Amino acid sequence: MKKTFFILIVFLLIIASGYSFYHFKTYTDMPALAKLEYKGMNLVAPIKELKNATFDELKAYHINSISLIPYAFVDVDNASIHYNNKRQWWGERTEGIIASNQLAHDYKMTVMLKPHLWVNHNFYTGNLDFSTDTEWKKWETDYEKYILDFAQLAQKENIELFCFGTELGNAVAKRPEYWFQLIHKIKKIYTGKLTYAANWDDFDKVPFWNQLDYIGIDAYFPLSDATTPAVADLNKAWQQHILKMEKLQAKTKKKIIFTEFGYRNSDQAAKEPWTENQNSINNLAQANAYESLFQSLTKKDWFAGGFAWKWYADEYHKEEKNSVDYTPQDKPALETIRKWYQ
């Protein structure tokens, strides 16, 4: 009798609160979203120092992981690479990486160390090429030193994820043996998770995914020519790219992370997200593009999350509030990120 009375009370409370069994059924029937291991941001290196206020703000938006980027500069004429230059910003050098990683760990965030090459303005690293084997070997010797130095640093500082290359499509296609031996050397030094950041248009051509922990993609997929693309239309456009990713994922059994993803707050934000041609401010286009990405990818159990491009550690991005940039800071897109990262 008491049990029956209790069930009746619960039922009446449900009715009183405006719910029905239909609502409960609808809720339980909703598709489960993938658990995002990396709710990340690519951190633009600070000029002089990294402050706690940066991490306080990141935490407020449920960001649980950051990418630190020690840039190196390529001299194409001499087939050489230079890094840790004192003229570089503090956050790009070894000392800055160490301090930034420690602060991230203090805030219970994981870290991806993601070395980047810089050639010069408007030069895409995926097109890097040399005419002779001697030049290639000279460049590869420099690159190996650069990467192994930071692999050692990643091991020493307990950095959780190491990305040993970013958008080097031609170098990978022409010199695959070099990359296999480099991965072997990295693994002798570094015991954390390992990935590579392939560009969106060649990730299915990378030959060494089976040697890594994640398939990494810089996910600037072209989705729509519309000035302000609708989320529903973007969701449809994602499907062809998702099918391509699923085919590779089924073959390798590796989870996929977006080592970079993002959109500028401009007209046609999703047309060619890797370009910076449009300078008309369109915050809604940026926010819609982010919303569609999360709606489309978080349904996939092979999607482990990723690192949005980008977050300024310094406040100089605020000097031009009415400007077009990739950062979602101080824009509606940041609330979209907060919602999905939560």
pLDDT digits (tens, 9 = 90+) for 78-133: 999 999 999 999 999 999 999 999 999 999 999 999 999 999 877 999 999 999 99
18 and 108 together in one domain: no
Same domain, 50 and 141: yes
What is the pLDDT averaged over residues 271-296? 97
Residues 138 and 260 occupy one common structural domain: yes
Question: What confidence tier does 315 reach under pLDDT thresholds 50, 70, 90?
Answer: confident
pLDDT over 60 at 26, yes or no = no
- Does the structure show a pLDDT above 70 at 318? no
- pLDDT of 22 > 90? The answer is no
Domain co-membership, 9 together with 119: no
Higher per-residue confidence, 49 vs 1: 49
**Quick one: 18 and 136 in the same domain?**
no
Total domain count for the chain?
2
Q: pLDDT at position 24, please?
A: 33
Model confidence band, residue 264 (pLDDT cutoffs 50, 70, 90): very high
Beta bridge partners of 44: 312
What single string gives the DSSP state of each residue in 99-114?
HHHHHHHHTT-EEEE-
Both 103 and 20 in a single domain? no
Range 306-318 average pLDDT: 89
CB within 8 A of 48, min separation 6: which ones? 89, 90
Identify the DSSP state of 331: S
d(CA 194, CA 164): 8
Residue 269's identity, in one-letter code, is A
Q: pLDDT digit string (tens) for 165-219?
A: 999 999 999 999 999 999 999 999 999 999 999 999 999 999 999 999 999 999 9
- Statement to judge: residues 90 and 138 lie in one domain: yes
Q: How far is 184 from 171, CA to CA, in rounded Å?
A: 17
- Whichever domain contains 46, its CATH number is 3.20.20.80
CA 105 to chain centroid, in Å, comes to 19
Which one-letter DSSP state was computed for residue 283?
H
Residue range of the domain that includes 281: 36-341
pLDDT at 182: 98
Q: Are residues 207 and 310 in the same domain?
A: yes
Whether residue 234 sits in one domain with residue 309: yes
Asked whether residue 20 carries a pLDDT value surpassing 60, the answer given is: no
Residues 11 and 100 in one domain: no
Do 4 and 151 lie in one domain? The reply is: no
Higher pLDDT, 271 or 320: 271
Residues 6+ apart with CB under 8 A from 68: 43, 45, 91, 97, 100, 101, 104, 111, 112, 113, 114, 159
Say how many CA atoms lie within 13 Å of 135 toward its Cβ: 12
pLDDT exceeds 50 at position 38? yes
The angle subtended at Cα 182 by Cα 180 and Cα 184, nearest 5°, is 70
Per-residue pLDDT at 30: 38
Mean pLDDT of the residues in the chain? 91
CA neighbor of 216 nearest in space, from 176, 174, 251, 255: 255
pLDDT band for position 67 (cuts 50, 70, 90): very high
Answer yes or no: do 191 and 311 share one domain: yes
